[in-house]
Amino acid sequence: MQIMKTSFNSISAFCLLSVFITLFASSANAVEPSDKEKNEIAIICEDLLAGYAIYRDRLDAEGYSNTFAEDGVALLGSNTFTGRDALRKYITEHNNHNTHMIMYTDHDITVISDTEAVGVSTAVVLGGDRIVGPGDDPIYMDRVTAANEYHSKFKLTDEGWKLAHIEFDRIYQRED
Amino acid sequence: MRIRANVNKSLWVALLALLAFSPSLFAVEEMSQEGLANMIADCKQLEYDYATYRVKGDAQAFANVFTEEGEWGRSNGRVLVGRAAIADYINALPAREPDANPGLTTTVKVTPIDSSNANTVSYALMPASSGADLDDPVYLRRFHIASESRSVCTLTDSGWKIAKREYSTLFTEPE
């Protein structure tokens, strides 16, 4: 009986030790990136935001949804879209297919670890009342439609860096 | 003889299985984080150089943003081919210094095609100004043009260059 108890304790200790080693190893894996790596991550995250803008403007559902992680979230106005299917649907069911431009003026990306980053960006937005196709006249407009401040989170996935979360505050709205 | 046939058959089965279950063999080579970031940064820099040299009217520097045989599509449908034609076009423009209508490059999206080619989409906003003077600030009234440019960038012996570029004016100020 004593031998069994000793063996049981040894196994428990071994399991506990394994858990600690695993936890330690995983925390050790989330290393602080070097300045060079932080710069690389920031460049890639800015490019993700550019994709978010341009695919949205073109109503490219595949491009837009693939900018996000599988479980990515977008808070747009009072609506929340979670996951690529919902994000794809948001674009395909968009009923305002007019010329639209999200023009970023500034990005501030903070790299938290080698798998996480956050960003604050500002952009002016131009919204037209029709599509401008090849050979069409441009839309006549002399002021921007809105200015937004975007708050975003990024994470490293098996497919590379992706948007995990994005939402925005409208800081300027054109008075019509 | 029969054993050899079986071995050959097994090898073929193994090869087919390898091809079937290894799509990465055919995929565009995976880019490292460093490689992707460098490509994005270099192609974005081309966009900024394009805008800077265009505004300054520096014909040679502007032409050098393109490949030797680079194509620059103008808004009137004309396509200038080659650095010499592009430089001649800039040199023929009326001098206007200082330039009070700088194009503000805003959103730039770089999409890799492979390790030495990429597509770029960029937006620019050009303000309308009340005049230009070296000592006084320019008074902005409104924006003049908002445009979208589409470029194919390629890695050459002298770094990343624009191989082809065209643009569309999407918004403009009322006449």
Distance CA A63, CA A88 (A): 9
* DSSP summary character for residue A146: E
Average pLDDT, chain B: 81
User: Which of chain A's residues have a Cβ under 8 Å away from the Cβ of B110?
Assistant: 47, 50
Q: Which residue of B has its CA nearest to A105?
A: B106
Whether B7 shows a pLDDT value over 90: the answer reads: no
| Structure confidence at residue B18 as a pLDDT band (50, 70, 90) | very low
Whether A150 shows a pLDDT value over 90: the answer reads: yes
CB within 8 Å: B171 and A141: yes
Q: How many helices (H) and strands (E) does chain B have?
A: 4, 6
Whether A112 shows a pLDDT value over 70: the answer reads: yes
Whether B128 shows a pLDDT value over 70: the answer reads: no
Q: What is the mean pLDDT of residues B99-121?
A: 88
Each residue's pLDDT tens digit, B33-91: 999 999 999 999 999 999 999 888 899 999 999 999 999 998 778 999 999 999 999 99
Among B37, B148, B174, beta carbon nearest to A44: B37
Q: What percent of chain B has pLDDT over 70?
A: 71
Q: Which residues, including other chains, have CB under 8 Å from residue B91's CB and lie 6 or more apart?
A: B59
Average pLDDT, chain A: 87
Whether A158 shows a pLDDT value over 60: the answer reads: yes
| Structure confidence at residue B126 as a pLDDT band (50, 70, 90) | confident
pLDDT value for B64:
98
pLDDT value for B98:
44
CB within 8 Å: B148 and A124: no
- Tell me how far CA of residue B39 lies from CA of A19, A47, B45, B110, B123, in angstroms: 41, 11, 10, 8, 19
pLDDT value for B23:
41
* Higher local confidence (pLDDT), B29 or B119: B119
E strand or H helix that includes residue A156: strand A146-157
A54/B contact by beta carbon, under 8 A: yes
User: Which of chain B's residues have a Cβ under 8 Å away from the Cβ of A142?
Assistant: 128, 142-143, 173-174
Among A47, A134, A144, beta carbon nearest to B40: A47
pLDDT value for B131:
52
Hey, of A47, A58, A137, which one would you mutate to test binding to chain B, going by the most B CBs within 10 A of its CB?
A: A47
Q: Which residues, including other chains, have CB under 8 Å from residue A9's CB and lie 6 or more apart?
A: none
Pair B165, B137: CB distance under 8 Å? no
CB within 8 Å: A124 and B125: yes
To the nearest 10°, the Cα dihedral for A54, B38, A164, B121? 0
Whether A103 shows a pLDDT value over 60: the answer reads: yes
| Structure confidence at residue A135 as a pLDDT band (50, 70, 90) | confident
Q: Which residues, including other chains, have CB under 8 Å from residue A94's CB and lie 6 or more apart?
A: A59
Buried b (16+ CB within 10 A) or exposed e, A55-79: bbbbbebebbbbbbbeebbbeeeee
The most confident of the ranges A146-150, B2-6, B53-57, B102-106 is A146-150
Q: How many helices (H) and strands (E) does chain A have?
A: 4, 7
| Structure confidence at residue B21 as a pLDDT band (50, 70, 90) | very low
pLDDT value for A27:
47
Q: What is the mean pLDDT of residues A48-57?
A: 97
Hey, of A31, A37, A40, which one would you mutate to test binding to chain B, going by the most B CBs within 10 A of its CB?
A: A40
| ipTM of this predicted structure | 0.82
pLDDT value for A8:
53
Closest to B81 measured CA to CA, from B170, B165, B174: B165
Each residue's pLDDT tens digit, A64-92: 999 999 999 999 989 999 999 999 999 99
CB within 8 Å: A103 and B107: yes
B68/A contact by beta carbon, under 8 A: no
Whether B141 shows a pLDDT value over 70: the answer reads: no
B39/A contact by beta carbon, under 8 A: no
| Structure confidence at residue B3 as a pLDDT band (50, 70, 90) | low
